[in-house]
Structure 1
Amino acid sequence: MDINTINDVVRRPAEPPGSHWREGDAWLAGGTWLFSEQQPNLRRLIDLAPLGWHSLSTSPAGLEIGATCTVADLYRFAAPDDWQAAALLRTSCEAFLASFKVWNAATVGGNICMSLPAGPMITLTVALEATYTLQATDGSERTVDAADFVTGNHQNVLAEGELLRKIHIPAAALRKRFAHRRFSLTRLGRSTIFMIATQGVADLLLTITAATTRPIRLRFDAAPDPEALRHSIDSLPADVWFDDPNGTPDHRRHLVKHFAEEIRGELA
């Protein structure tokens, strides 16, 4: 879709790109959402692609994903053999409500910053205990836990002009055992729920997304029994459950408890 309110596109932004920022601006990465509907408040786009940020890099500390890394690049990533949970990278890419053609443009950072309940890159990074590096307009940076970034449906902690620069997934999380469940009303439809559990030596983490307005990560010091697991889910605030045509809050809560017990049994 043409955005007929745009007067200018910054094709060669400075580093940091926020030095260009002014009211009516928007960051342009993949643009798959930006060009999907009218944007009446926007006057200018700042193209991040020319900055050439690294897409993916590995180190003993883990995996670093540049915010402009495309979904296609993430899907093709070949992880070290001992990163067994890296299989979730492909699983999460396949949870997109998008064709493989969109994968070549859509970015990991864009999906996270959209902050929708069914954003699979949010599910992936919260479940794998990632941290995000955020960059302000003056170039200063801060780090936030992925679990704290999304605060509600299409809401997050980004300040005006601030951008997501990169994502770090620790190697320890990538070495954990894992299990996941996803449900949608149609085979290729938007997720009604998307859940991932990872199990280390000393803890078990259960991440719930799509069913809730923000990511929920439950931590257990040991594998919970069925009653403790149900109690943790029932104790979540009533207003955290998402309501849309893909499922009512009661339907989603029921599915989460059902699949959580399956996951518990799988990892036991």
Structure 2
Amino acid sequence: MTPHTLALVGATGGAGTTRTAVELAAVGARAGHDVVVLDAAYATQGLSEYVSGRIGTDLTTLLTDDPDASLSAATYPIAVDDDARGALDGRADMVPARAPFERVARAKTAEAARALERRIDEAAAAYDAVVVDTPPVASNQAVAVVTTVDRVAAVRPATPHGRDALARLYGRVADVGGSVDATVAVARTDTTATDADEPTDGALDASIGVTNSPVAAAPTTATATDAYTGAVVDAYETLFDTSLDLEFDRPGVFDRLTG
């Protein structure tokens, strides 16, 4: 079965999970796919940084105060400039979390987690690809996500520390009846390619290479043709078992099935 819903779970703090989700959405939309990112990381609410303007209804509202509203009530286009918007043949949408502590607490209940499962299914019916920015597997909503989506991908820094954290994440996901199906190693300027290229036994392995662009510049993959964009293209193709019709050089990029 071709996966349509994907959980990105950070193996460690600062792994780049939210940025990766945003860039995957942009590159998918660039190739004509309709992609949406759901923000299940209620504590950090990082996805809201990629939405321009005021956020009214958010994901936590749909899970608590307004369960009968359509997902579209909390859906916002990814913030890009006019040139980038013109380069996107599909949609790159966000369903952010932007809520006070009281509503965040209610969104973490078991009942709200079941509502999140339904919202993921709703998104899958409306989009070609659904990416869920997922917090560490220590909360109701994280358990709901990793046991609902078609594929779970662990995002780790391409470092020994990231590799060690990945082993712990495997155990946590297994404890709740899920599995880590893929890994995404995010390389930074101080990371050697050798570590980034090491496969993970039994899982689909993708790599996103070095980028010097700041988070505020994201999504850069909407228009760029550099090696970083090529790596995100490869990751999208690997994670969603598809091929993107994007014509530009993609040096230093790999995807590999191991096991």
Higher relative contact order (CA 8 A, sep 6+): 2
TM-score, normalised by the number of residues in structure 1: 0.24
Q: Which has the larger radius of gyration?
A: 1
TM-score, normalised by the number of residues in structure 2: 0.24
